[in-house]
């Protein structure tokens, strides 16, 4: 993101307040009015529609910067294993599919929305993930036949792994989004769903401190570092 202009220059609220509102709404399963009430308790009087405008305006910007920093840091490391899975999402009563690629540490690499889950959809999703993140040594999938058909065309079918419980990491990555989906009372537009899924994934990655794997002191250090880096986004 360019540093020549200040993205907050036309807003009366401070960047810290905007970042806090976006983080609360995207990271936690809160409604727009929940965020409005929480900020009001802290002496910040804004309308819930302002929260909606801020996340639409700044959420993709913050997510893009988080993703750019992560990709640049991970460029020199090899990708041991990806876990790829799809989940259904209801959109105005119609079923659409959210595809996810998750790395061996549980971070979401890519989110992609399609109306079908056929070979063409799987191929488009895998091409997008491979172009941005490079190749993985192994790609774990479920038994959906679209995956081997797409991977055969990409020439990496020999890297595919299928097995019971092997893809639990991808399945678990859906839980946070399911909680968020219920709080938002589902989605109504494909464009909005794609936008929120991408923003939610990047912000979830940023604050993922692997609390269950480290001691309390290490967790506190990682949490403080993540918050400090968040406050510097778009600065």
What does the pLDDT look like over 168-206, one tens digit per residue? Answer: 888 888 998 998 888 888 888 899 999 999 999 999 999
User: 114 and 56: one domain?
Assistant: no
Residue 77 pLDDT more than 80? no
- Are 29 and 47 contained in the same domain? yes
The residue out of 49, 77, 105 marking a domain boundary is 77
DSSP-assigned beta bridge partners for residue 30: none
d(CA 69, CA 63): 10
Q: Are residues 33 and 132 in the same domain?
A: no
Helix, strand or coil, per DSSP, at residue 99: strand
User: Predicted confidence band at 73 (pLDDT cuts at 50, 70, 90)?
Assistant: confident
> Is residue 59 located within the same domain as residue 108?
no
Same domain, 82 and 160: yes
**From CA 57, how far away is CA 7, in angstroms rounded?**
10
Question: Rounded to the nearest 5°, which phi and psi values hold at 94?
Answer: -100, 145
Would you state the pLDDT for residue 40? Answer: 96
**pLDDT number for residue 163:** 84
Report the distance separating Cα 198 and Cα 177, nearest Å.
11
On the question of pLDDT at 76 being above 70, the answer is no
| Residues 127 and 176 reside in one and the same domain | yes
Q: Is the pLDDT assigned to residue 86 strictly greater than 60?
A: yes
Q: Which burial class, exposed, middle or buried, applies to 41 when counting CB atoms under 10 A from its CB (0-12, 13-18, 19+)?
A: exposed
* Domain contains 94: yes
Q: Is residue 45 part of a domain?
A: yes
Q: Are residues 99 and 160 in the same domain?
A: yes
User: What is the rounded CA–CA span in Å between residue 146 and residue 134?
Assistant: 21
Task: Give the integer Cα–Cα distance in Å for 35 and 23.
Answer: 10
What is the model's pLDDT at position 132? Answer: 86
What CATH number is associated with residue 108? 3.30.420.10
pLDDT for 75 equals 66
Question: Between 173 and 23, where is the model more confident?
Answer: 23
Strand partners, 84: 101
Residue 179 lies in a domain: yes
Tally of structural domains, the chain: 2
Q: Is the dihedral of CA 162, 197, 61, 211 positive or negative?
A: negative
What pLDDT does 62 receive?
Answer: 95
Q: What is the pLDDT of residues 92-120, one digit of tens each?
A: 888 999 999 998 888 899 999 999 999 99
pLDDT tens-digit readout, 25-58: 999 999 999 999 999 999 999 999 999 999 999 9
Look up the domain containing 68 and give its range: 1-77
Q: Tell me, yes or no, whether 56 and 86 share the same domain.
A: no
Q: Could you tell me the pTM of the whole model?
A: 0.87
18 and 51 share one domain: yes
Is 120 among the domain residues?
yes
Kind of pairing between the strands at 94-103 and 108-114: antiparallel
Residues 213-231 pLDDT 10s: 789 999 999 999 999 999 9
Residues in the chain: 235
Helix ranges, the chain (H): 15-27, 32-41, 48-74, 119-133, 146-154, 168-183, 190-206, 216-231
């Amino acid at each position: 993101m360019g540093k020549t202009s200040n993205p907050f220059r036309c807003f009366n609220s401070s960047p810290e307040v905007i970042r806090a509102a976006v983080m609360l709404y995207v990271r936690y399963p809160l409604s727009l009015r929940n965020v409005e009430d929480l900020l009001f308790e802290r002496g910040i009087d804004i309308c819930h529609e302002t929260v909606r405008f801020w996340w639409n305006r700044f959420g993709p910007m913050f997510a893009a910067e988080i993703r750019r920093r992560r990709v640049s840091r991970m460029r020199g490391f090899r990708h041991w294993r990806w876990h790829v899975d799809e989940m259904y999402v209801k959109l105005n009563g119609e079923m659409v599919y959210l595809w996810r690629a998750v790395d061996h540490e549980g971070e979401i690499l890519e989110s992609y929305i399609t109306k079908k889950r056929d070979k063409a959809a799987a191929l488009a999703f895998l091409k997008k993930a491979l172009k941005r993140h490079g190749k993985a040594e192994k790609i774990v999938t479920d038994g959906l036949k679209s995956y081997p058909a797409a991977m055969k065309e990409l020439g990496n079918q020999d890297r595919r792994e299928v097995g019971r419980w092997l893809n639990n990491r991808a399945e678990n990555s859906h839980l946070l989004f399911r909680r968020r989906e219920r709080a938002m009372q589902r989605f109504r537009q494909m464009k909005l769903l794609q936008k929120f899924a991408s923003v939610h994934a990047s912000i979830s990655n940023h604050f993922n401190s692997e609390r269950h794997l480290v001691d309390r002191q290490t967790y506190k250090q990682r949490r403080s570092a993540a918050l400090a880096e968040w406050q510097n986004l778009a600065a």
